[in-house]
Amino acid sequence: MYVVKRVAQAFVTFVSVVTITFALVRAIPGGPADFIRAQVMQAGGSSEVSMSEINSLVESYTNIDPSTPLHVQYFNYLTSVLQGDLGTSVWYSRPVADIIADAAPWTIFLLTISILLTFAIGIVLGAVMAYLEGTRFDSSSTVVSMFLNSVPYYIAAIFLVYVVSIQLGMLPQSGRFASGLDPGLNVEFIVSVFRHAILPIVSLVATGFGGVAITMRGNAVQEIGEDYIRVAHLRGVPGKRIATRYVGRNAVLPMYTNFMIAVGFMFGGSVILEEIFAYEGLGLYLLQAIEARDYPLMMGTFLIISLAVLICILIADLTYSKIDPRISDQGSREAY
Amino acid sequence: MAEKNSSFSQSDGSAGGQGATRTDLYREWLDMAVLTPIRVAWDDWRTQVGSIIIAFYLLMGSVGVVLVDPPNQGQGPRLTPAFQDWSVPLGTNDIGESILSATVHATPPMLQMIAAGAVFSTALATVIGTVSGYKGGLTDRVLTTLTDIAMTIPGLPLIILLAALFEPTNPAVIGILITINAWAGLARSIRSQVLSLRDHSYVEASRIMGAPTRRILVDDIIPNIMPYVLINFVNSARNVIFGSVGLYYLGLLGGTHENWGIMLDGAYNGGAIYSLQVVHWLFVPMIAIIGISFGFVLFAQGTEKLFNPRIRARHAETVEDDTAPHQQ
């Protein structure tokens, strides 16, 4: 029952996102037509190209029909989005769904690895720090974690490009894979993909795990001080079981919401990250679409990023009650 | 700490109960509410270093802008390295602007952005999170749905769209814009904390005694989540720094003022990454950004203990010792 309710809520959320997106994107001044007109004028000079020529060019680029009323545009958009049709990109003259299908796996690839690594390293380090509370390892890791946590990921990215790519020439500076390689399941291509992914992933993980570690450390230290842990020790519960079942579970649990925030943060952050590394993922397309005032592509990438975050949150939410028995009986909870 | 004149202390008969004078009460209040938190916080090296760093930026944004000339073309020879020409101590960029001037004069708008954004998002998150978590039922469903929507829209892309739409130039407006949905995450985690708090016995006691919801939230719930809120206030300050600098770096925020993100963008695209000679151009804004953000993170970590009643009692002069019952 809870699952159905939660999925329905996610659906409502998604429709709201579509609505807000539509309203926002439509409200941006200087539509696609203006932009293309400016481009043509800049390229050829306004005197050489006649106004009617520009207008026909605009129409052939934009498949948008601005003559219909706004609510009709919205209704048509909503129904086609729910059918998986995201329109045609003004700028690339390709279906938006195609562009996204091409870009999304790369972004998801980068971000999934980054998020998993960030939390794995953070949780393990935080647990060790809590276990060794007060030792030199604890205090030095805390300082390092705090410092790394205060570095914006894009600064880490620029710094890594500067040191690793340009000064040391060890890893490629930009792109998804080396140019001239045929995408396919061959060793050379896969190696190239990973070599190109290392720096973006490292920039996110290196600046992200510290925050997770500090939170985990704090939670674990607090749990260790609780009475029930002492009771468990006195009852003779094995130390390993106390560490994982008692302390571990209760320390990781409050970080579920952190996890959701991290998902949203990283997906949003992919815009700047992909711009720095010229990594053709959703973020880079979104930025290009905004610069080109490419409405369909803008809305499409935006929706897919939102959808990805929405699905992550839904999964986190549905598994939440599995770990925390306190909130498992959602239906029977009394409202105050 | 040796003084025994507290109405909080049971062992001291003369000052306890009705015997306390008005002055004593004020003094005690001052000690409990103002001095003790400062003492506790100051006891931690992280708070000390964090405060010093934040104070340094505050000075830079107030006194610094008076002492240092505003950035201007041709303040020195173009691309002077750092620490060579003392009229431009941190060197110059490609148009001969002093990097020091640009860095210092970027501080005041930055501080305004941080203040506006952090206050906006933390206040909103605390209200929505506590009400939603405590009330449950329909209120919770409505607020959670709202929160979910705000949280699901990826912040940065949304802000980029809004920045393109409104083209804000006022730093305070930019600060609020950057936290336009940052409150959602915090509200969500506050809600989940309140969920486990609301069944505690003392909350239940207040409820049975018929205390209004507002009182319960303010007296019983919020003090418990205060450390968390405070830490997140500082974290959201950090996020405003991250967000605004990032947007300036992408060239999506206009305005006439200097910003470390604009400097970073200029340096990165101006070729500073290819040459060791001009690397100061890139590194100075980087250090400025990391510095202020490190200051906030240290401060947040240091004040974490602040709301732990045991630690507070130990530091309060008007409380006899840390085992004395604290009754209010």
Residue B287 has what pLDDT? 92
Buried b / exposed e along B213-245 (16+ C-beta atoms within 10 A): eeebbeebbbebbebbbbbbbbbbbbbbbbbbb
Is the Cβ of A177 closer than 8 Å to some Cβ of chain B? no
Residue B300 in this model has a pLDDT that exceeds 90: no
Secondary structure of residue A28 in the 3-state scheme: coil
User: Residue B2 to residues B169, B318, B323, B324: CA-CA distances in angstroms?
Assistant: 55, 9, 14, 13
Averaged pLDDT, A93-118: 90
Task: Say whether pTM exceeds 0.90.
Answer: no
- CB pairs A-B closer than 8 Å: 160
SS (H, E, C) B11-80: CCCCCCHHHCCHHHHHHHHHHHHHHHHHHHHHCCHHHHHHHHHHHHHHHHHHHHHHHCCCCCCCCCCCCC
Instruction: Tell which wins on pLDDT, A310 or A31.
Output: A310
Phi, psi of B92 (to 5 degrees): -130, 165
Averaged pLDDT, A297-319: 83
Search chain B and give the residue with CA nearest A310.
B152
| Residue of B145, B149, B297 with shortest CB distance to A146 | B297
What distance in Å separates the CA atoms of residue B210 and residue A74, rounded to the nearest whole number?
Answer: 49
Give the closest residue to A28 by CA, choosing from B170, B254, B174, B161.
B161
Residue B224 has what pLDDT? 78
| Residue of B162, B273, B286 with shortest CB distance to A166 | B273
Residue B321 in this model has a pLDDT that exceeds 60: no
Give the closest residue to B180 by CA, choosing from B149, B158, B205, B203.
B158
Could you tell me the domains of chain A?
A: 2-82 (no CATH), 108-306 (1.10.3720.10)
Instruction: Tell which wins on pLDDT, B63 or B2.
Output: B63
Which pLDDT band, with edges at 50, 70 and 90, does B118 fall under? very high
Residue B288 has what pLDDT? 92
Q: What is the gyration radius of the CA atoms in chain A, in angstroms?
A: 25
Could you tell me the two tokens for A255?
């970080």
Is the Cβ of B153 closer than 8 Å to some Cβ of chain A? yes
User: Residue A319 to residues A3, A76, A312, A313, B196: CA-CA distances in angstroms?
Assistant: 10, 35, 11, 10, 17
What distance in Å separates the CA atoms of residue A322 and residue A168, rounded to the nearest whole number?
Answer: 47
Residue A187 has what pLDDT? 83
What distance in Å separates the CA atoms of residue B292 and residue B224, rounded to the nearest whole number?
Answer: 28
Which pLDDT band, with edges at 50, 70 and 90, does A207 fall under? very high
Question: Which B-chain residues 67-126 have CB contacts (< 8 A) with chain A?
Answer: none
Could you tell me the domains of chain B?
A: 65-305 (1.10.3720.10)
Q: What secondary structure letter does DSSP report for B258?
A: -
pLDDT tens, position by position, A7-41: 888 888 888 888 887 787 776 666 656 666 676 66
pLDDT tens, position by position, A264-286: 788 888 888 999 898 999 999 98
What distance in Å separates residue A118's CA from the closest CA in chain B?
A: 18
Residue B271 in this model has a pLDDT that exceeds 80: no
B contacts of A32 (beta carbons < 8 Å)? none
Residue B56 has what pLDDT? 94
Is the Cβ of B224 closer than 8 Å to some Cβ of chain A? no
